[in-house]
């Protein structure tokens, strides 16, 4: 059984150092916490240039995957750290995500919602994201981390992403459409406190996973390792590393939904919301023409007469023109 620590409020860097530090100490656990201050967390493979350095927000790069996220005290974090050798049935990333997220889904369903796991790493309610998650290996441990959104500001999230004003506006609008918060879902109840959500999660991690709730947090035992981790996470050589760059500017909204903008110098500045599962455009900003939405590649071929614009839209949809000639 994993020990469960109801840590509560900590400074922003400690909220990241905890799940990086336990693997260094070869300890397992479930940690529930939230940060005092807002900050940005970059995924381990993400390009530094996706962060807007003019935002004035603290930033860290984590050692697990996922995309850039804006984190603040209106989110409760859950962090699961486990040694795979102690859990031989968990053989694949999907197994680990279910192990970590099923208690969170059970807690949300207990409140009367129909929460479900959208692979690879989101929890959705009514097809809107309430929990974004990331996973990976740190030292010898499998680590899954995520959050529950109590409240959320799409505008704050959009401001910390590098990009034009148009891209930031489109991102904020897309998040408003595709994200949902606990307070929004329970209008009339009154605002949720972080302590209430932490207690709810602790109950279901105990009930579903068998995690053992601890009466205290062993800060004295952890302090040296956490300080070492803090230095490593803020090391400029780690923080500023270049990462993967797709052929277009891309911002993840939720699993299966992305905003994309060509890297070509064009006017007007066209931004498309892409559903990567159906390979359709579901929204457009600044398009010089009107098209039926959602629209797939065949629809683009029929409705868009301008060959350059058609090429741009195909590019954003990951469709090659020659593939269409073969269909």
Sketch out the chain's domains with CATH numbers. Answer: 3-239 (3.30.930.10), 264-325 (no CATH)
Residue 327 has pLDDT above 50, yes or no: no
Question: Minimal CA–CA distance to 30: which of 101, 105, 136?
Answer: 101
127-161 pLDDT, tens digit per residue, is 999 999 999 999 999 999 999 999 999 999 999 99
Average pLDDT over residues 239-247: 87
Residue 52 has pLDDT above 60, yes or no: yes
List of E strands, the chain:
3-10, 29-35, 39-42, 58-61, 69-71, 75-82, 115-118, 122-125, 128-138, 141-149, 212-213, 248-254, 257-262, 271-275, 280-285
Residue 84 has pLDDT above 60, yes or no: yes
Q: Distance of alpha carbon 34 from its chain centroid, rounded?
A: 15
Percent residues over pLDDT 70 in the chain:
98
Confidence class of residue 322 from pLDDT cuts 50, 70 and 90? low
| pLDDT reported for residue 153 | 96
CB neighbours (10 Å) of residue 33? 21
| pLDDT reported for residue 326 | 42
| pLDDT reported for residue 188 | 76
| pLDDT reported for residue 283 | 97
Average pLDDT over residues 83-105: 92
Average pLDDT over residues 68-90: 95
pTM exceeds 0.85, yes or no:
yes
261-276 pLDDT, tens digit per residue, is 999 888 889 999 999 9
11-20 pLDDT, tens digit per residue, is 999 999 999 9
Question: Minimal CA–CA distance to 245: which of 263, 229, 233, 230?
Answer: 263
| pLDDT reported for residue 246 | 86
Confidence class of residue 206 from pLDDT cuts 50, 70 and 90? very high
Residue 242 has pLDDT above 90, yes or no: no
């Amino acid at each position: 059984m994993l020990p469960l620590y109801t840590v509560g409020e900590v400074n922003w860097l400690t909220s990241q150092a905890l799940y990086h530090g336990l693997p260094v100490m070869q300890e397992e656990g479930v940690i529930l916490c939230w940060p005092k201050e807002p900050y940005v967390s970059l995924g381990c493979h993400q390009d530094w240039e996706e962060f807007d350095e003019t935002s004035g927000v603290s930033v860290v790069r984590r050692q697990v995957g996922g995309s850039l996220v804006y984190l603040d005290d209106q989110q409760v974090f859950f962090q699961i750290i486990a040694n795979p050798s102690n859990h031989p049935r968990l053989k694949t990333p999907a197994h680990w995500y279910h192990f970590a997220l099923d208690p969170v889904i059970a807690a949300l369903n207990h409140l009367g919602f129909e929460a479900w796991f959208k692979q690879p790493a989101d929890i959705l309610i009514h097809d809107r994201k309430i929990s974004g998650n990331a996973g990976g290996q740190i030292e010898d441990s499998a680590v899954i981390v995520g959050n529950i959104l109590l409240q959320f500001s799409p505008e704050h999230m959009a401001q910390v992403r590098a990009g034009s004003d148009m891209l930031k506006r489109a991102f904020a609008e897309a998040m408003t459409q595709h994200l949902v918060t606990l307070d929004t879902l329970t209008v009339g109840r009154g605002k949720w406190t972080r302590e209430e959500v932490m207690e709810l999660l602790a109950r279901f991690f105990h009930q579903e996973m068998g995690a053992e709730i601890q009466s205290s947090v062993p800060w004295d035992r952890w302090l040296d390792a956490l300080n070492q981790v803090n230095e490593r996470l803020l090391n400029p050589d780690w923080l500023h590393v270049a990462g993967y760059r797709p052929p277009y500017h891309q911002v993840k909204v939720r699993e299966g939904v992305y905003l994309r903008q060509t890297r070509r110098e064009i006017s007007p500045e066209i931004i498309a919301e892409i559903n990567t599962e159906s390979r359709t455009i579901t929204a457009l900003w600044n398009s010089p023409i009107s098209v039926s939405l959602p629209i797939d590649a065949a629809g683009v071929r029929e409705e868009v007469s301008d060959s350059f614009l058609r090429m741009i839209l195909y590019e954003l949809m990951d469709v090659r023109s020659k593939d269409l000639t073969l269909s």
